[in-house]
Structure 1
């Protein structure tokens, strides 16, 4: 069965709770999404506001402070907000991704000649003494390896040793400053589940991002050689408009392509735009997934960027919006401003296209 780009779009939006906000808890949504990109510390709050009915910042911040969620380097070698269980599940599975990042290219040259087992052990010892920022960790590591850059040493340890970036980093309403790190074992009392399963992870990816190809799963995770994993799951096969084979759970939602989709505001680097090799199901012409601004959707497709300056929301469409769409975007933008800065005077400004 062939699926159009619009059918794939509606399936993705439904699974991401962007067709209709969900009543699930933030923790349930974070788990369903298999984590949320969090290199911008507060971005998951905006992502959840667009997905969870009645979401308030404290709803997520409390899970960080109670250690139900953590911020940790995982898929694609980037920081994700995940549940505590998913941190233990995903971290050992993503080790090949992190090793590839650490030992190749510029990073590999920076730690060339170092016994990496010794580096990992020394880093672990320093962070088990007390949480430290990457800057402080690098300074202490440089005492042992004076011929290497402190930042490179600390970054290598972050990839070698399971580390979490601890609160108040990522807590809404608190000055972020430089994030302190602790070992995953110190923070959660363990570093992995007894038998972490890549099959479970791929199955859950499809629940949140499918229908999808093997290449899509690999793009999302950074892992390779996942064909065998996908093939052994009991999945239904589809194809896209270009004939690519897509896999999906039989009972997963695949709404009609004409189902209405209201505008939604997404944070910087939201996974919805980074988790497929073929992104035509979510992008409009002109979209750059690496944009440091947030993005917004019109009719389900990313159609521009936004940023907030105090109480003003600057909205930059990729092309001129229809009057009705512009009004809907402005209305949703005002709701975003009320969420981020309640009680203030709010302004939505459309930048020239």
Structure 2
């Protein structure tokens, strides 16, 4: 059985995540290949696509959202993801157990729907959203009018778990604010949820985008449990590998495994990027000692940058008096060549993020080590 070290796993991940070189794909093609992009906030998917694709423009993703070719919906790990319309309809039924578990696991949500017939709640939600998309507060008020003794916010959030409610534009459009409003996926997309995809398909797509990986890795990414039986069922369709600690890994036989010494350019990852969230063992890209700095207590996954393929620090953009500044917070001393590459790439990132700023600058803070 082939053994893969951290650099081999790193280069495989970067290749599949479009991070070894920018690719001439459309935004829709990239979103589908990545099996969606984490999207709690509107801006991160734009930066994630910019760092992966050649010539990506804000308007390309905005047009997918307004044209109903892509949507933002609670999906993997019960978190908001940007996915193609096809994947929303195909994948949401597969991860519904994850959403159901979340509703049961949050006391306020569970209490709000205790003893309610699920079909009654579903019907009430569809009726409330029949005329126009509603905010969480508006949906909660509509449901509480039917069940006045129950918590409106709990009802609305339980509804988001029960049904595929998509966040409709202008939510998700670059530079446009406004409250989050929901519609059912079926009404917004004009099609019913799919029934043809299987969990086996989901596991295969995960490995194509994130492998090689362990069963625990797939479960961490998807939120689903008991996937060992799925991997066993796939059998000869998978290639068995292991890492240097002896963990069993699985992969697609034809998936790329670049040379561990393949050069990896510096890259900027946005907040919540799935490349940091898709594995139980993140050592292929992140030093565990740095995790607490990136994964904050309030649920924010901070924006990071890669040097030689591994997380080497964090970044943020500040704006003041017409100046946009990209602030880099390296974890250790940056080699001169890497610092120069980060400054050059950072200047391009600033042009993408703050084209309206008359002055743009890159600032490197002292190392935190």
Bucket of the pairwise TM-score, normalised by the shorter protein: over 0.9
- Given that residues 269 and 290 in structure 1 are in contact (C-alpha distance below 8 angstroms), is that contact kept between their aligned partners in structure 2? no
- Given that residues 134 and 180 in structure 1 are in contact (C-alpha distance below 8 angstroms), is that contact kept between their aligned partners in structure 2? yes
Tell me the TM-score normalised to structure 1 length: 0.96
CA distance in 1, matches of 2:152, 2:204: 40
Equivalent in the alignment of 2:30? 29
Structure 1 unaligned residues grouped into runs of 5+: none
- Given that residues 307 and 313 in structure 1 are in contact (C-alpha distance below 8 angstroms), is that contact kept between their aligned partners in structure 2? yes
- Given that residues 42 and 174 in structure 2 are in contact (C-alpha distance below 8 angstroms), is that contact kept between their aligned partners in structure 1? no
CA distance in 1, matches of 2:195, 2:106: 33
Equivalent in the alignment of 2:86? 85
Structure-2 change in CA distance of 1:7 and 1:133 (3 Å): same
CA shift for structure 1 position 346? 0.7
1:166-315 equivalence runs, <5 A: 166-175=168-177, 177-233=178-234, 234-284=237-287, 285-288=289-292, 289-291=294-296, 292=300, 293-310=302-319, 311-315=324-328
CA shift for structure 1 position 3? 0.1
CA shift for structure 1 position 343? 5.8
CA shift for structure 1 position 350? 2.0
- Given that residues 305 and 312 in structure 2 are in contact (C-alpha distance below 8 angstroms), is that contact kept between their aligned partners in structure 1? yes
Query: Structure 1, residues 107-146: CA drift from partner, whole Å, max 9, x if none?
Result: 3234334444322221121012211111111122222233
Query: Structure 1, residues 92-116: CA drift from partner, whole Å, max 9, x if none?
Result: 0011000000012423234334444
- Given that residues 124 and 161 in structure 1 are in contact (C-alpha distance below 8 angstroms), is that contact kept between their aligned partners in structure 2? no
Query: Structure 1, residues 69-102: CA drift from partner, whole Å, max 9, x if none?
Result: 1111000000000011100111100110000000
Equivalent in the alignment of 1:326? 339
Q: Which of 137, 140, 143 in structure 2 is aligned with 1:141?
A: 143
Secondary structure, aligned partner of 2:62: helix
- Given that residues 3 and 243 in structure 2 are in contact (C-alpha distance below 8 angstroms), is that contact kept between their aligned partners in structure 1? yes
CA shift for structure 1 position 48? 0.2
CA distance in 2, matches of 1:87, 1:210: 22
CA distance in 2, matches of 1:109, 1:325: 53
Secondary structure, aligned partner of 1:92: coil
What RMSD, in angstroms, separates the aligned Cα atoms of the two structures?
A: 1.5
CA distance in 2, matches of 1:174, 1:84: 22
123-132 or 71-80: bigger deviation: 123-132
